[in-house]
Amino acid sequence: MVSIKNSRILITGGAGFIGSNLADHLIENNEIVVVDDLSMGKIENLPKSTQLHFFKHSITDTNFMSKLLVKWNFDYIFLLAAVASVADTISRPCETHKINQDANINVMEMVRVNKLPVKKILFSSSAAVYGNNPELPKCESSAIDPISPYAIDKFASERFVIDYGKLYHIPTVATRFFNVYGPKQNPKSPYSGVLSLISHSLMNDSIFTIFGDGKQTRDFTYISDVVSALELLSENPIANHEVYNVATEIPTSLNKVLKIFEKISGKKITLAYKNERKGDIRDSYADVSKIKQLGFSPRYSITYGLKKYWDMLNSKRQKG
């Protein structure tokens, strides 16, 4: 088991779902700085610790980011801040481009210009870059076919981060997450991750809308597996200037997820159906043999992960 210790770590988007789970995991042995504008993230997500320093700021604020990077001299930088909803980027492509691409390139530029001695910069890309390429499972060498502003920005940023790394000798790595789920995923927007929306509907006995026929599949990946992958890739020196899928290798349809959730919760979910979403991908699952070679092994099946997620939501509700 790898573990990062005694390090200064920046997590952009650290008050969000993946970032705050990563902060929980790393806080004990490290000093963590989180930059988040709280557009989706929540301050309550963050661990309460004197080793956690929170800045409510947009990563698009170049001046602020530049000063922060120079002042803190981070060992590790996790670039997780983004407008993470594909549909949201379709509604406001130019605005989201500034966050999902320009701000990340700016971080690379600040590190380059100031010759900052980072041990690793990790950029969180997405399975969305494969688009509707029919090849399944998706390997890192599969053809890229981005079909949304989100996916275009993810792919371009991924290339920038990796090639900046190669050109200017900055250790970098990129992850292509598939559909991550688990505690602290925010269901507040209609564009939130589908499993957070289903669990919210189940908890509140409200209607859940399926876009399309529910037969679309995703490689749903439990957050704890993602946190393990993030730590592994940031520590492992072989993971340099490379991109890695992070997933389970198992496709599950929305219809199946709904059945499993109903069984676990003992509740019946009320469904409505609407047309398939524009820019939606039909099927998606990964080949993760590349990261497995570094020692990664996903531990959570969909049933085990959903059970853990449901139990945590219930215990949170009971605590009030």
177 binds ligand NAD (CB under 6 A): yes
Number of residues counted as binding ligand UD1 (CB under 6 A): 22
Angle at 65 between CA 63 and CA 67, to 5 degrees: 70
Which of 77, 115, 103, 82 minimizes the C-alpha distance to 234?
A: 77
Residue 218 interaction partner, one of ligand NAD, ligand UD1, none, beta carbon < 5-8 Å per kind: ligand UD1
Q: Which of 147, 197, 302, 306 binds ligand UD1 (CB under 6 A)?
A: 197
- Contacts with ligand NAD in 189-218 (CB under 6 A)? 193
**Residue among 24 and 37 whose Cβ is closer to ligand NAD:** 37
Applying the rule CB under 6 A, the residues between 105 and 144 that interact with ligand UD1 are 126-128
Query: Among residues 76, 150, 181, 191, which one is catalytic?
Result: 150
Verify cis geometry, omega within 30 degrees of 0, for the bond prior to 137. Answer: yes
Q: According to CB under 6 A, which one of 84, 161, 243, 291 is a site residue for ligand NAD?
A: 84
The secondary structure element, H or E, covering residue 56 is strand 52-56
Of 16, 15, 23, 17, which Cα lies nearest the Cα of 7? 23
Does the active-site annotation cover 150? yes
Total residue length of the chain: 320
CA 2 from chain centre, in angstroms, equals: 20
Contacts to ligand UD1 from residues 176-195, by CB under 6 A? 178-179, 191-194
180 is a contact residue toward ligand NAD (CB under 6 A): yes
Cα–Cα distances in angstroms (integers) from residue 57 to residues 92, 93, 180, in the given order? 20, 21, 25
Number of residues interacting with ligand NAD: please give it, by CB under 6 A.
29
Does 36 help bind ligand NAD (rule: CB under 6 A)? yes
The string of DSSP codes covering 222-260 is EHHHHHHHHHHHHH-TT-SSEEEEES-S--EEHHHHHHH
Question: Which of ligand NAD, ligand UD1, none sits in contact with 265, Cβ below 5 to 8 A by type?
Answer: none
Binding site for ligand UD1 (CB under 6 A): 84-86, 126-128, 178-179, 191-194, 197, 209-211, 216, 218, 254, 277, 280, 284
